[in-house]
A and B are shown apart, each in its own frame.
Chain A
Amino acid sequence: MPLDVPSYAFALPDGVDPPALVSFLGTRFDVVSEAAEPLTVTVVDTADRRLREAGVDLSLHGSRAAATLVMREQAGSAPLTAPAGRHRRWLVEDLPDGPLRDHLAPIVEMRALLPLARVRAEVQPLQVRNSDRKTVVRLRLTTHAALVDDGEAVPLTPRLEVAGVLGYPRPLDRLVMVLTTESGLADAPASLADEAIAAAGGDPEGIRSKVRVTLRPDQRTDKAAVAVLRDLAGMVEANLPGTLADLDTEFLHDLRVAVRRSRSVLRELSDAFPAEPLARQREALKWIQSITGPTRDLDVQLLDWGHLLAGVPAERHAALAPVHTLLERHRSSALRTLTRELRGSKFTGTWAAYRAFLDGRLGPARDRPDAKRPIAEVAGGRIAKVYKRMVKAGRAIDDSSPPDDLHDLRKRGKELRYLLEFFGGLWPTDVVKPMVKSLKGLQDVLGTHQDREVQAHNMRDLADDLAGEVGGPEALLVLGVLIDQLEAEQHAARAGFAERFAAFASDDQRKLVARTFS
């Protein structure tokens, strides 16, 4: 049942003076204007702009001591507010209990809310009233400027936000008609937050985790591969500062995913690159992946903690506190090592060399057999081949197969997934989409199987350290319950393998893959 009230944001074109607009509206409507208030606000969102995606505006108002977070789901809707406290960033647990936190938590999840841009504004609230002197439309006329790092104020387009009042659609329609036809206002091209972020030199869409490169089927494979790799390298660089500052766990996660995907491109399209530099760069990316691994493994353990506890009787939760403390301590230590590595000269040099490899000349094409071949031909061949190998490897898996066999299949699945993500756009969606869906279904069970195996292994490794902790012996007893739970989930995932694999390797799917990609 919708209760939404329409709202509009108009940009004031050059030559339309805000006071003149207010005077004009006064000749056509009963308009009450309140005193304009100067305001400095900070745009707040996650690095990947989850709030923007969800249609939510969050901003920080007021001075440090009494700063307030203000959330609006749509222009004109009643804001939700909460004291901001003193934080350089807000994880969900940093927000005080209440409606604002309840609304944001499912959107933000494990990501940190960050200050993304500062705006100095002067906001004039206006109301249109009916013959009962009741407000039937709300307006906010705003002039503002983005405050960039060096203190410079970059003027932004003045805007007029118009929001209806529930149950009074006609006055809103009439006002919008007057504004668009008689005042010449046009829809604002971007939100105020987007405009401010762009003025401060940021990307309004935030840090992407999906590759966005337009490829042609006949494009040279080496050029296509380098375009994808450069996009991925940009993601590594975008996530590096947040990883170093430990703003949230996902900077490191996204950095690692971008490195893993880069390694996959270099491996799958290896014949488009010169052999010796390629081997060196693959080794370099492998090293980055290895130094970032321990912190991520511990992040996964801590992020999964709530889920793990849910399987343990509530009266035993307290006994597990030393396990959590130990995980946090290990994580802090792993992070210290990681940041030392990432700030060190080896990483700086390695990354600069990798960037030079992507930006420089790759050498004569005769030494790189796939370099000049069309990307659709080379990537299609790889998709068909990896798929075929997965089908063969999956068929060989039975109840007696060791866990490593499933792990190997998962790694191949990731290769296929990345190939489809980067190059799938070269083939019809109705072929690629179902293939990705069945692959995702298979990868989900393989992923759970592997993750639970690793987590159970890591938990067992904690046993020695726990023994010496206060409350350690009690924790060890309950740790056994946790490990049993992880193993049960691993077995459940394995039991689901056959069904998911059957869908992935069905006759129809195999024929379709052979017909499309070979």
Chain B
Amino acid sequence: MKVVATYNIKGGVGKTSAAVNLAALAARDGLRTLLWDLDPQGAASFLFRVRPKVRGGGRKLVRGKSEVADVLRGTDVEGLDLLPADFSYRHMDLVLDESGKPTRRLRKVLAPLADHYDLAVLDCPPSISLVSESVFDAADALLVPLIPSTLTLRTFEQLGGFIDTEVDRRPEIIAFFSMVDRRKRLHREVVESLPDGRTDIARSAIPAATEVELMGVERSPVVVHAPRSRGARAYGELWAEVRGRLDL
């Protein structure tokens, strides 16, 4: 089972949108896929109409006191299951801190599922904390959405530096531009100024599109309810790139 995580220190940059759409596309391609909604706000769970509740809460789950299989929920996308959010995830840092080897806990929770899924997608809360370190340890790849600006590029480079120096098991980092508004000069310039040979930023970019924003109303991934839309096509291209990079 390969593990990818959508991550950014900032919120509102398109992490959840990427996680749900890429997970849905993976399932449609025949990969047995799990999406873990690690964000206590539970946006991914909401989009799949799954109640953000984990029996026994995050503490029991992370400490291995509850059976992970018992809390999984099938989604409306065949082949895609969800490990839902729980409001108690807001204390996950504390729970991890109290555990032995805190940065390895999330990997341990996923271990029993390795034979059942080909891909796990982790939708992470915005922060840099023990939770994110545990995610870095569990993930084979980090998908980092970037809203085009000079500052976000700088933050992205800082993240790479942090992972290089602080994380033992270095995941591959694949950034991609998100919420790109072609009407804005800065967005166009940042996206177009990327050197060709740069491999840590995907060629595909996700546009700022109404149909993507409407996911919250439709309560389903855009690739499901508007598969021919610009947003859905962009996620399709990003997925093809990620799939190739991860050799899935």
Contact = CB atoms under 8 A, between A and B. Distances in A.
**A is bound by B:** yes
Interface of A: 1-3, 5, 76-82, 98-100, 127, 132-135, 138, 165-168
Contacts of A168: 73-74
B74 A81 contact: no
Contacts of B32: 78, 99
Interface of B: 27, 30-32, 48-51, 67-69, 71-74, 76, 78-81, 112-113, 116, 118, 219
- Please name the 7 residue pairs, one residue from A and one from B, whose CB atoms are nearest each other, closest first: A78-B79, A166-B74, A134-B49, A167-B73, A165-B74, A78-B78, A80-B30
B163 to A, nearest CB: 30
B76 A134 contact: yes
Given A1-B116, A134-B50, 4 more contacts: A1-B67, A78-B79, A79-B30, A81-B30
Nearest to B79: A78
27 contacts: A1-B67, A1-B68, A1-B113, A1-B116, A3-B116, A5-B74, A76-B78, A77-B79, A78-B30, A78-B32, A78-B79, A79-B78, A79-B79, A80-B30, A81-B30, A82-B30, A100-B30, A127-B76, A132-B49, A134-B50, A134-B76, A165-B73, A165-B74, A166-B73, A166-B74, A167-B72, A168-B74
- Which secondary structure dominates chain B's binding surface? loop
Nearest to B49: A134
Q: Which of B67, B69, B112 has the most CB of A within 10 A?
A: B69
Contacts of A165: 73-74
A99 B112 contact: no
B84 to A, nearest CB: 9
Contacts of B73: 165-168
A280 B158 CA distance: 88
A8 to B, nearest CB: 16
Given A81-B30, A166-B81, A167-B73, A133 B49 contact: yes
A167 B219 CA distance: 19
Contacts of B67: 1
Contacts of A77: 78-79
Contacts of B78: 76-79, 138
A5 B79 CA distance: 12
A78 B27 contact: yes
Contacts of B74: 5, 165-168
Contacts of B113: 1
Contacts of B50: 134
Contacts of B30: 78-82, 98-100
A166 B72 contact: yes
Contacts of B112: 1
Contacts of A167: 71-74, 81
Contacts of A78: 27, 30, 32, 78-80
A167 B31 CA distance: 20
A99 B219 CA distance: 29
A135 B220 CA distance: 12
Contacts of A132: 49, 51
Contacts of A79: 30, 78-79
A173 B51 CA distance: 20
Contacts of B51: 132
A1 B68 CA distance: 9
B153 to A, nearest CB: 36
A168 B68 CA distance: 15
Q: Which of A76, A78, A80 has the most CB of B within 10 A?
A: A78
B119 to A, nearest CB: 10
A1 B79 contact: no
A127 B74 CA distance: 13
A168 B73 CA distance: 7
Q: Which of A3, A79, A81, A165 has the most CB of B within 10 A?
A: A3
B23 to A, nearest CB: 12
Contacts of A2: 69
